[in-house]
Amino acid sequence: MTENDPSLCEGTVLLASTRTSTVASRMAIRFADAGCRVAAIYPSRTHPLSSTQAVGRHFHYSMVDPLQTILAALRESGASLVLPCDGLTVRHLHALYAVLPAAEDGARTAEILQKSLGDPAAYLLIDSRHEVQTAALAEGLRAAQSFALGRATDPETIAKALPFPWVLKTDYIASGSGTRVVPSLSAARKMIRRAGAPPNLAIAMGQLLVEGERAAMGEWLRAMRPGLSAQRPVPGVPANTVASCWAGEVLSLISVQAVQVTGRPTDPPAKVEIIANEEMVRAARRMTEKLGLSGFQDFEFMLDADSGQATLTEINPYCVAPMYLNAGPGHDPVDALCRRWLGRPPARQTPVHPGRLIAYFPQSWMADPSDPMLETGAYDMPVQDPHLVNHVMRMVRRNRRYSAIQSGVRAWLRRDAQG
């Protein structure tokens, strides 16, 4: 990929990420192809954003003082749009908006955040998975019933209205790592103690040293305690609608349902199929209008296997797969956002993804390296950026070695305790 032609750079976008997901890098590629200047802020040199050729300027995301580093990156990059790529970043951007009245040129930055994220009146609601579900139910949508949990909450009281098992959800943590199924009262009490507290130092250090993840260390240093909620489980197939939005209007969307889930049932899928589900689309449009959303939004559902009825389970107001794909006319979220933001078509059109199946990179390779689908156009590998591909593959192999060591240590400790 060649460097952006300055004559095409009518806008600068800042991608912000605390987690080592590949999605931020894929969004960077799309915006660079559209003719935008791309800046990125992330906490570690091991982040995939450090390797993609699409990023023109790089900024350090401090987990000790995140608001000031985001503010500095916005000022120095000249970005007129900032796109969060995980829940913790959304929380930081919402917190930054709250302190801007006291900041130099705060009005300009507030305007950028509002254009990027939507109506500030909805920020506190969006930060809570429980409040989002409550708002969806109030709109008459089919949504999972939710109960808020505090550290002092006695789960036995909730259990009278919500029989086990529960789906325990943690605010601003990605759905896979922030979601647990708890089968009993004793398990609920244990998970509430764990999930409602910041990561312990051992976990934070492990993520920092092995995976290059600094978010947990920042949460530990700042004693951050995310909100908790318990949802009634919804049987069915996981699905999601990803959408680009502008001031409460859905510009474009893609809906997919899981074909293959890796690991636990709450983990993100390795393969999905592009679908058309009017109930999912209606719910996405209704909540976007209700909350005045802008930017990229992820609406998570469970689909009934027989009727196809869609039950909303959460909204993630940040970039996730497959937002960076072009799924055909009317289903290219990045293209639609660029047209509204810049007032023109992107500089380069992205090819339409072939077929309905999507095998995510690198999840599909991690699930089965011998899968024949990895040799087809359905495999979602960013071949146009070999540096990014090599970086991600090294990261996956390193994490696998770490997981194998962890499993071996746990097995040895169990044997030692039994002996």
| Same domain as 246, residue 205 | no
Residue 256 lies in a domain: yes
- CATH number (domain holding residue 100): 3.40.50.20
Alpha-carbon distance values, 196 to 123, 156, 193, 219 (Å): 21, 17, 6, 12
> Among 99-103, 148-152, 238-242, 295-299, where is mean pLDDT lowest?
148-152
Structure tokens at 372: 């024949």
| Same domain as 29, residue 154 | no
- Which residue range is the domain that position 50 belongs to? 6-117
Q: What is the pLDDT of residue 342?
A: 94
- Degrees to nearest 5, angle at CA 71 with 68 and 72: 85
* Among 88, 18, 5, CA closest to 49: 18
What's the average model confidence in pLDDT over 347-356?
Answer: 94
Confidence label for 273 from pLDDT (cuts 50, 70 and 90): very high
Q: What is the pLDDT of residue 262?
A: 62
| Same domain as 226, residue 288 | no
Q: Is the pLDDT of residue 9 over 50?
A: no
Confidence label for 193 from pLDDT (cuts 50, 70 and 90): confident
Q: What is the pLDDT of residue 207?
A: 53
Q: What is the pLDDT of residue 223?
A: 45
In tens, the pLDDT along 285-330 reads 999 999 999 999 999 999 998 999 999 999 999 999 999 999 999 9
- Runs of H (alpha helix) within 244-331: 278-291
Confidence label for 266 from pLDDT (cuts 50, 70 and 90): low
- CATH number (domain holding residue 314): 3.30.470
Contact yes or no for 230/297 (Cβ under 8 A): no
- Degrees to nearest 5, angle at CA 169 with 163 and 172: 165
| Same domain as 157, residue 107 | no
Question: How many folded domains does the chain comprise?
Answer: 3
| Same domain as 291, residue 356 | yes
| Same domain as 261, residue 161 | no
Q: What is the pLDDT of residue 205?
A: 54
